[in-house]
Chains A and B, each alone.
Chain A
Protein backbone atom coordinates (compact mmCIF):
# COMPACT_ATOMS: atom_id res chain seq x y z
CA UNK A 1 0.00 0.00 0.00
CA UNK A 2 1.04 3.59 -0.49
CA UNK A 3 1.30 5.61 2.71
CA UNK A 4 1.51 9.30 3.49
CA UNK A 5 2.51 10.11 7.04
CA UNK A 6 2.02 13.54 8.59
CA UNK A 7 2.94 14.24 12.19
CA UNK A 8 3.12 17.06 14.67
CA UNK A 9 5.16 16.23 17.75
CA UNK A 10 6.31 18.23 20.72
CA UNK A 11 9.85 19.38 19.99
CA UNK A 12 11.20 17.14 22.74
CA UNK A 13 10.16 14.11 20.73
CA UNK A 14 10.12 15.32 17.14
CA UNK A 15 13.66 14.09 16.45
CA UNK A 16 12.70 10.62 17.65
CA UNK A 17 9.67 10.55 15.36
CA UNK A 18 11.84 11.63 12.44
CA UNK A 19 14.33 8.82 13.08
CA UNK A 20 11.58 6.21 13.19
CA UNK A 21 9.81 7.46 10.07
CA UNK A 22 13.07 7.45 8.07
CA UNK A 23 13.48 3.72 8.58
CA UNK A 24 10.29 2.98 6.70
CA UNK A 25 9.38 5.89 4.44
CA UNK A 26 10.86 8.57 2.22
CA UNK A 27 11.13 12.04 3.67
CA UNK A 28 9.14 14.56 1.62
CA UNK A 29 9.38 17.78 3.62
CA UNK A 30 9.04 18.87 7.25
CA UNK A 31 7.01 16.23 9.14
CA UNK A 32 5.78 14.61 5.91
CA UNK A 33 6.80 11.17 4.64
CA UNK A 34 5.59 8.92 1.86
CA UNK A 35 6.23 5.53 0.33
CA UNK A 36 5.10 2.06 -0.56
CA UNK A 37 4.88 -0.20 2.51
CA UNK A 38 3.94 -3.78 3.29
CA UNK A 39 1.13 -4.41 5.80
CA UNK A 40 3.66 -5.66 8.32
CA UNK A 41 5.95 -2.64 7.97
CA UNK A 42 2.95 -0.31 8.26
CA UNK A 43 1.96 -1.96 11.54
CA UNK A 44 5.55 -1.87 12.79
CA UNK A 45 5.81 1.83 12.01
CA UNK A 46 2.56 2.53 13.87
CA UNK A 47 3.71 0.54 16.90
CA UNK A 48 7.05 2.38 16.99
CA UNK A 49 5.45 5.83 16.75
CA UNK A 50 2.81 5.03 19.35
CA UNK A 51 5.51 3.85 21.71
CA UNK A 52 7.20 7.28 21.80
CA UNK A 53 4.28 9.67 21.39
CA UNK A 54 2.43 11.46 24.17
CA UNK A 55 -1.20 11.29 23.06
CA UNK A 56 -2.02 14.55 24.83
CA UNK A 57 0.59 16.55 22.98
CA UNK A 58 1.54 14.74 19.77
CA UNK A 59 -0.43 13.91 16.66
CA UNK A 60 0.05 11.39 13.84
CA UNK A 61 -2.01 11.08 10.65
CA UNK A 62 -1.70 8.29 8.11
CA UNK A 63 -3.30 8.39 4.67
CA UNK A 64 -3.21 4.97 3.04
CA UNK A 65 -3.95 4.00 -0.54
CA UNK A 66 -4.32 0.44 -1.75
CA UNK A 67 -3.12 1.60 -5.14
CA UNK A 68 -1.80 4.87 -6.49
CA UNK A 69 -3.93 4.45 -9.60
CA UNK A 70 -6.67 6.87 -8.56
CA UNK A 71 -4.53 9.52 -6.93
CA UNK A 72 -2.42 12.24 -8.42
CA UNK A 73 0.61 13.96 -6.98
CA UNK A 74 1.51 17.49 -8.01
CA UNK A 75 4.51 19.33 -6.75
CA UNK A 76 5.55 22.99 -7.12
CA UNK A 77 8.69 24.82 -6.25
CA UNK A 78 11.83 23.39 -4.74
CA UNK A 79 11.97 19.60 -4.74
CA UNK A 80 13.07 18.63 -1.25
CA UNK A 81 12.50 14.87 -1.08
CA UNK A 82 10.07 12.12 -1.94
CA UNK A 83 10.04 8.51 -3.03
CA UNK A 84 13.06 7.87 -5.24
CA UNK A 85 14.71 4.61 -6.19
CA UNK A 86 17.16 5.89 -8.73
CA UNK A 87 19.62 8.42 -7.39
Chain B
Protein backbone atom coordinates (compact mmCIF):
# COMPACT_ATOMS: atom_id res chain seq x y z
CA UNK B 1 0.00 0.00 0.00
CA UNK B 2 1.40 3.36 -1.02
CA UNK B 3 1.85 6.02 1.66
CA UNK B 4 0.61 9.52 2.39
CA UNK B 5 3.01 12.38 3.01
CA UNK B 6 2.09 15.34 5.23
CA UNK B 7 4.09 18.56 4.95
CA UNK B 8 3.82 21.15 7.73
CA UNK B 9 7.09 22.94 7.07
CA UNK B 10 7.58 25.75 4.60
CA UNK B 11 9.59 24.99 1.52
CA UNK B 12 9.54 23.89 -2.07
CA UNK B 13 8.39 20.74 -3.81
CA UNK B 14 10.36 19.93 -6.93
CA UNK B 15 10.96 17.22 -9.44
CA UNK B 16 14.49 15.90 -9.84
CA UNK B 17 15.40 13.17 -12.29
CA UNK B 18 12.72 10.56 -11.77
CA UNK B 19 11.80 11.47 -8.27
CA UNK B 20 10.52 14.30 -6.08
CA UNK B 21 12.08 16.22 -3.27
CA UNK B 22 11.01 18.69 -0.64
CA UNK B 23 13.55 21.40 0.14
CA UNK B 24 13.51 23.41 3.31
CA UNK B 25 16.28 25.52 4.82
CA UNK B 26 18.82 24.00 2.49
CA UNK B 27 17.87 20.44 3.38
CA UNK B 28 16.55 18.26 0.57
CA UNK B 29 14.26 15.40 1.52
CA UNK B 30 13.62 12.99 -1.32
CA UNK B 31 10.15 11.50 -1.57
CA UNK B 32 9.95 7.89 -2.74
CA UNK B 33 7.69 8.63 -5.66
CA UNK B 34 6.89 5.00 -6.44
CA UNK B 35 5.61 4.58 -2.92
CA UNK B 36 3.52 7.73 -2.49
CA UNK B 37 -0.20 8.02 -3.17
CA UNK B 38 -0.98 11.52 -1.96
CA UNK B 39 0.54 14.61 -0.35
CA UNK B 40 -1.09 16.90 2.22
CA UNK B 41 0.22 20.43 2.33
CA UNK B 42 -0.25 22.51 5.47
CA UNK B 43 2.84 24.72 5.28
CA UNK B 44 3.76 27.46 2.84
CA UNK B 45 4.92 25.24 0.01
CA UNK B 46 5.87 26.32 -3.49
CA UNK B 47 5.36 23.80 -6.23
CA UNK B 48 6.72 23.97 -9.75
CA UNK B 49 4.85 23.04 -12.89
CA UNK B 50 7.36 20.27 -13.46
CA UNK B 51 6.45 18.92 -10.05
CA UNK B 52 2.74 18.94 -10.88
CA UNK B 53 3.35 17.29 -14.23
CA UNK B 54 5.32 14.53 -12.60
CA UNK B 55 2.81 14.12 -9.75
CA UNK B 56 0.13 13.78 -12.40
CA UNK B 57 2.14 11.19 -14.29
CA UNK B 58 2.66 9.23 -11.07
CA UNK B 59 -1.02 9.69 -10.11
CA UNK B 60 -0.26 11.52 -6.90
CA UNK B 61 -2.99 13.79 -5.53
CA UNK B 62 -2.08 16.93 -3.61
CA UNK B 63 -4.45 18.28 -0.93
CA UNK B 64 -4.04 21.84 0.32
CA UNK B 65 -4.91 23.23 3.74
CA UNK B 66 -4.57 26.84 4.78
CA UNK B 67 -2.77 28.34 7.72
CA UNK B 68 -5.70 27.53 10.00
CA UNK B 69 -5.90 23.92 8.89
CA UNK B 70 -8.98 24.45 6.73
CA UNK B 71 -9.21 22.49 3.52
CA UNK B 72 -8.51 24.70 0.52
CA UNK B 73 -8.65 22.32 -2.42
CA UNK B 74 -6.95 19.49 -4.20
CA UNK B 75 -4.78 19.00 -7.21
CA UNK B 76 -6.74 16.14 -8.76
CA UNK B 77 -4.72 15.18 -11.81
CA UNK B 78 -6.40 14.47 -15.12
CA UNK B 79 -8.43 11.29 -14.75
CA UNK B 80 -6.32 8.30 -15.63
CA UNK B 81 -9.18 5.87 -15.27
CA UNK B 82 -12.07 6.52 -17.57
CA UNK B 83 -14.95 4.31 -18.58
CA UNK B 84 -17.82 5.94 -20.44
CA UNK B 85 -20.21 3.24 -19.30
CA UNK B 86 -19.60 3.98 -15.61
CA UNK B 87 -19.94 7.75 -15.99
CA UNK B 88 -23.22 7.35 -17.86
CA UNK B 89 -24.56 5.05 -15.16
CA UNK B 90 -23.45 7.43 -12.43
CA UNK B 91 -25.17 10.36 -14.14
CA UNK B 92 -28.30 8.26 -14.68
CA UNK B 93 -28.46 7.54 -10.95
CA UNK B 94 -28.21 11.23 -10.22
CA UNK B 95 -30.76 12.38 -12.76
CA UNK B 96 -33.35 9.72 -11.96
CA UNK B 97 -34.93 11.04 -8.76
CA UNK B 98 -35.92 7.64 -7.47
CA UNK B 99 -32.50 6.11 -8.04
CA UNK B 100 -30.81 9.07 -6.45
CA UNK B 101 -33.06 8.96 -3.40
CA UNK B 102 -32.42 5.24 -3.02
CA UNK B 103 -28.66 5.70 -2.99
CA UNK B 104 -28.81 8.76 -0.74
CA UNK B 105 -30.90 6.77 1.72
CA UNK B 106 -28.31 4.02 1.77
CA UNK B 107 -25.57 6.48 2.74
CA UNK B 108 -27.70 7.78 5.60
CA UNK B 109 -28.52 4.25 6.71
CA UNK B 110 -24.84 3.42 6.74
CA UNK B 111 -24.03 6.58 8.63
CA UNK B 112 -26.67 5.91 11.31
CA UNK B 113 -25.56 2.32 11.59
CA UNK B 114 -21.96 3.36 12.18
CA UNK B 115 -22.91 6.01 14.73
CA UNK B 116 -24.93 3.30 16.46
CA UNK B 117 -21.88 1.04 16.40
CA UNK B 118 -19.81 3.64 18.21
CA UNK B 119 -22.55 4.16 20.82
CA UNK B 120 -22.96 0.44 21.41
CA UNK B 121 -19.25 0.15 21.99
CA UNK B 122 -19.31 2.82 24.71
CA UNK B 123 -22.56 1.54 26.12
CA UNK B 124 -20.82 -1.74 26.88
CA UNK B 125 -17.90 -0.01 28.56
CA UNK B 126 -19.50 2.83 30.50
CA UNK B 127 -21.84 3.08 33.48
CA UNK B 128 -24.42 5.45 32.02
CA UNK B 129 -26.20 2.81 29.94
CA UNK B 130 -29.50 4.66 29.88
CA UNK B 131 -27.98 7.63 28.03
CA UNK B 132 -26.92 5.33 25.22
CA UNK B 133 -30.09 3.25 25.35
CA UNK B 134 -32.23 6.35 24.87
CA UNK B 135 -30.26 7.57 21.91
CA UNK B 136 -30.04 4.14 20.32
CA UNK B 137 -33.78 3.84 20.69
CA UNK B 138 -34.20 7.16 18.89
CA UNK B 139 -31.87 5.93 16.15
CA UNK B 140 -34.17 2.97 15.55
CA UNK B 141 -37.22 5.21 15.35
CA UNK B 142 -35.55 7.64 12.96
CA UNK B 143 -34.24 4.79 10.83
CA UNK B 144 -37.80 3.61 10.27
CA UNK B 145 -38.70 7.04 8.92
CA UNK B 146 -35.95 6.87 6.30
CA UNK B 147 -38.03 4.79 3.93
CA UNK B 148 -40.83 7.41 3.98
CA UNK B 149 -38.56 10.28 3.00
CA UNK B 150 -39.61 11.71 -0.34
CA UNK B 151 -36.62 13.91 -1.01
CA UNK B 152 -32.93 14.14 -0.37
CA UNK B 153 -33.61 17.26 1.72
CA UNK B 154 -35.90 15.26 4.01
CA UNK B 155 -33.20 12.64 4.35
CA UNK B 156 -30.65 15.29 5.23
CA UNK B 157 -32.97 16.69 7.88
CA UNK B 158 -33.45 13.23 9.39
CA UNK B 159 -29.74 12.69 9.43
CA UNK B 160 -29.33 16.05 11.12
CA UNK B 161 -31.64 14.94 13.96
CA UNK B 162 -29.81 11.69 14.42
CA UNK B 163 -26.43 13.36 14.42
CA UNK B 164 -27.56 15.88 17.01
CA UNK B 165 -28.60 13.04 19.32
CA UNK B 166 -25.37 11.24 18.59
CA UNK B 167 -23.32 14.30 19.54
CA UNK B 168 -25.35 14.67 22.73
CA UNK B 169 -23.62 11.54 24.05
CA UNK B 170 -20.10 12.89 23.53
CA UNK B 171 -19.89 14.49 26.96
CA UNK B 172 -20.87 11.17 28.53
CA UNK B 173 -18.20 9.38 26.53
CA UNK B 174 -15.39 11.89 26.98
CA UNK B 175 -16.03 13.11 30.54
CA UNK B 176 -13.32 15.74 30.38
CA UNK B 177 -13.83 19.40 31.35
CA UNK B 178 -11.44 20.61 28.63
CA UNK B 179 -13.40 18.86 25.92
CA UNK B 180 -17.09 19.60 26.24
CA UNK B 181 -19.30 19.44 23.19
CA UNK B 182 -21.91 22.22 23.78
CA UNK B 183 -23.11 22.31 20.18
CA UNK B 184 -21.70 21.72 16.73
CA UNK B 185 -19.90 24.82 15.50
CA UNK B 186 -17.86 25.21 12.33
CA UNK B 187 -15.71 27.78 10.60
CA UNK B 188 -14.44 28.51 13.12
CA UNK B 189 -15.25 25.89 15.73
CA UNK B 190 -16.10 27.47 19.08
CA UNK B 191 -14.45 24.91 21.29
CA UNK B 192 -11.71 22.28 21.28
CA UNK B 193 -13.91 19.27 20.65
CA UNK B 194 -15.51 20.94 17.65
CA UNK B 195 -12.08 21.90 16.38
CA UNK B 196 -11.09 18.23 16.48
CA UNK B 197 -14.25 17.07 14.73
CA UNK B 198 -13.85 19.63 11.96
CA UNK B 199 -10.21 18.87 11.37
CA UNK B 200 -10.71 15.10 11.47
CA UNK B 201 -13.66 15.20 9.10
CA UNK B 202 -11.79 17.31 6.57
CA UNK B 203 -8.95 14.80 6.47
CA UNK B 204 -11.33 11.87 6.02
CA UNK B 205 -13.10 13.71 3.19
CA UNK B 206 -9.83 14.10 1.34
CA UNK B 207 -8.89 10.46 1.99
CA UNK B 208 -12.14 9.44 0.32
CA UNK B 209 -11.35 11.78 -2.57
CA UNK B 210 -7.91 10.20 -2.96
CA UNK B 211 -9.52 6.78 -3.13
CA UNK B 212 -12.16 7.91 -5.64
CA UNK B 213 -9.28 8.93 -7.87
CA UNK B 214 -8.26 5.26 -8.00
CA UNK B 215 -11.69 4.21 -9.31
CA UNK B 216 -13.90 4.98 -12.32
CA UNK B 217 -16.32 7.05 -10.26
CA UNK B 218 -16.63 10.77 -10.93
CA UNK B 219 -16.09 12.76 -7.71
CA UNK B 220 -18.32 15.59 -9.00
CA UNK B 221 -21.49 13.50 -8.93
CA UNK B 222 -22.64 12.87 -5.37
CA UNK B 223 -26.08 11.55 -4.46
CA UNK B 224 -26.72 12.69 -0.92
CA UNK B 225 -24.64 15.83 -1.15
CA UNK B 226 -25.84 17.93 -4.07
CA UNK B 227 -23.83 18.26 -7.16
CA UNK B 228 -23.25 21.67 -8.53
CA UNK B 229 -20.79 20.49 -11.16
CA UNK B 230 -18.05 22.72 -9.88
CA UNK B 231 -17.10 21.02 -6.69
CA UNK B 232 -16.48 17.48 -5.63
CA UNK B 233 -19.29 15.85 -3.67
CA UNK B 234 -19.20 12.06 -3.94
CA UNK B 235 -16.42 11.86 -1.33
CA UNK B 236 -18.71 13.58 1.17
CA UNK B 237 -21.31 10.83 0.68
CA UNK B 238 -18.80 8.05 1.20
CA UNK B 239 -17.20 9.75 4.20
CA UNK B 240 -20.54 9.58 6.03
CA UNK B 241 -19.94 5.86 6.47
CA UNK B 242 -16.46 6.30 7.89
CA UNK B 243 -16.56 9.47 9.98
CA UNK B 244 -17.99 7.85 13.14
CA UNK B 245 -15.69 4.83 13.30
CA UNK B 246 -12.56 6.61 12.13
CA UNK B 247 -12.68 10.24 13.25
CA UNK B 248 -14.89 10.10 16.32
CA UNK B 249 -13.27 6.98 17.74
CA UNK B 250 -9.85 8.51 17.20
CA UNK B 251 -10.85 11.73 18.93
CA UNK B 252 -12.13 9.83 21.98
CA UNK B 253 -8.96 7.82 22.21
CA UNK B 254 -6.60 10.80 21.74
CA UNK B 255 -8.36 12.70 24.53
CA UNK B 256 -8.60 9.65 26.75
CA UNK B 257 -4.89 8.86 26.37
CA UNK B 258 -4.09 12.56 26.93
CA UNK B 259 -2.21 12.66 23.64
CA UNK B 260 -4.09 15.83 22.84
CA UNK B 261 -4.49 18.35 25.67
CA UNK B 262 -5.34 22.01 26.10
CA UNK B 263 -1.94 23.24 24.93
CA UNK B 264 -2.48 21.72 21.48
CA UNK B 265 -5.08 24.34 20.62
CA UNK B 266 -4.80 27.95 19.49
CA UNK B 267 -7.33 30.56 20.47
CA UNK B 268 -8.56 32.87 17.75
CA UNK B 269 -10.61 36.00 18.25
CA UNK B 270 -13.80 34.12 17.37
CA UNK B 271 -12.95 30.46 17.79
CA UNK B 272 -10.50 27.71 18.60
CA UNK B 273 -8.28 25.66 16.30
CA UNK B 274 -5.97 22.72 16.60
CA UNK B 275 -2.37 23.97 16.71
CA UNK B 276 0.25 22.80 14.25
CA UNK B 277 1.67 20.45 16.88
CA UNK B 278 -1.83 19.14 17.52
CA UNK B 279 -2.46 18.60 13.83
CA UNK B 280 0.78 16.62 13.53
CA UNK B 281 -0.23 14.35 16.40
CA UNK B 282 -3.68 13.95 14.92
CA UNK B 283 -2.55 12.99 11.41
CA UNK B 284 0.15 10.70 12.70
CA UNK B 285 -2.34 8.78 14.84
CA UNK B 286 -4.91 8.84 12.04
CA UNK B 287 -2.35 7.30 9.67
CA UNK B 288 -1.74 4.51 12.18
CA UNK B 289 -5.45 3.94 12.43
CA UNK B 290 -5.92 3.84 8.66
CA UNK B 291 -3.34 1.08 8.45
CA UNK B 292 -4.89 -1.12 11.10
CA UNK B 293 -6.66 -4.04 9.53
CA UNK B 294 -9.98 -5.76 9.92
CA UNK B 295 -10.90 -9.23 8.73
CA UNK B 296 -12.82 -9.35 5.46
CA UNK B 297 -14.84 -12.52 5.07
CA UNK B 298 -15.28 -12.55 1.31
CA UNK B 299 -11.73 -11.65 0.42
CA UNK B 300 -10.39 -14.16 2.88
CA UNK B 301 -7.84 -11.72 4.27
CA UNK B 302 -7.65 -8.66 6.46
CA UNK B 303 -7.82 -5.23 4.90
CA UNK B 304 -6.81 -1.81 6.21
CA UNK B 305 -9.34 0.93 6.97
CA UNK B 306 -7.90 2.82 4.06
CA UNK B 307 -8.63 -0.14 1.81
CA UNK B 308 -12.15 -0.40 3.21
CA UNK B 309 -12.85 3.00 1.69
CA UNK B 310 -11.80 1.68 -1.70
CA UNK B 311 -13.97 -1.42 -1.28
CA UNK B 312 -16.90 0.83 -0.40
CA UNK B 313 -16.37 2.69 -3.69
CA UNK B 314 -16.27 -0.59 -5.57
CA UNK B 315 -19.60 -1.50 -4.03
CA UNK B 316 -21.06 1.84 -5.12
CA UNK B 317 -19.76 1.30 -8.64
CA UNK B 318 -21.35 -2.15 -8.70
CA UNK B 319 -24.64 -0.61 -7.58
CA UNK B 320 -24.43 1.90 -10.43
CA UNK B 321 -23.70 -0.82 -12.98
CA UNK B 322 -26.75 -2.72 -11.78
CA UNK B 323 -24.71 -5.60 -10.42
CA UNK B 324 -25.59 -5.55 -6.76
CA UNK B 325 -27.56 -3.20 -4.50
CA UNK B 326 -25.23 -1.15 -2.35
CA UNK B 327 -25.12 -2.20 1.31
CA UNK B 328 -22.99 0.17 3.38
CA UNK B 329 -20.12 -1.19 5.41
CA UNK B 330 -21.13 -2.24 8.91
CA UNK B 331 -18.32 -2.46 11.45
CA UNK B 332 -18.54 -5.67 13.42
CA UNK B 333 -16.47 -5.09 16.53
A residues in contact (CB < 8 Å) with B: 19, 22-27, 35-38, 41, 44, 81, 84-87
Contact = CB atoms under 8 A, between A and B. Distances in A.
Contacts of A36: 3, 35
B8 A86 contact: yes
Contacts, number: 53
Interface residues of B, number: 24
A53 B8 CA distance: 38
B9 A87 contact: yes
Dominant SS among interface residues on chain A? mixed
A86 B283 contact: yes
A86 B32 contact: no
Contact of A87 (B1, B2, B8): B8
Given A19-B17, A85-B287, A86-B284, A24 B5 contact: no
- Which of A37, A81, A87 counts the most B-chain CB atoms under 10 A from its CB? A87
Contacts of A85: 3-6, 284, 287
- Which of B3, B5, B35 counts the most A-chain CB atoms under 10 A from its CB? B35
Interface string B18-40: 11001010000110111100000
B287 A44 contact: no
A19 B29 contact: no
13 contacts: A19-B18, A23-B18, A23-B33, A35-B35, A36-B3, A38-B1, A85-B3, A85-B4, A85-B287, A86-B5, A86-B6, A86-B283, A87-B22
Given A22-B19, A35-B35, A85-B5, A27 B30 contact: yes
B120 to A, nearest CB: 31
B34 A23 contact: yes
Contacts of A81: 29
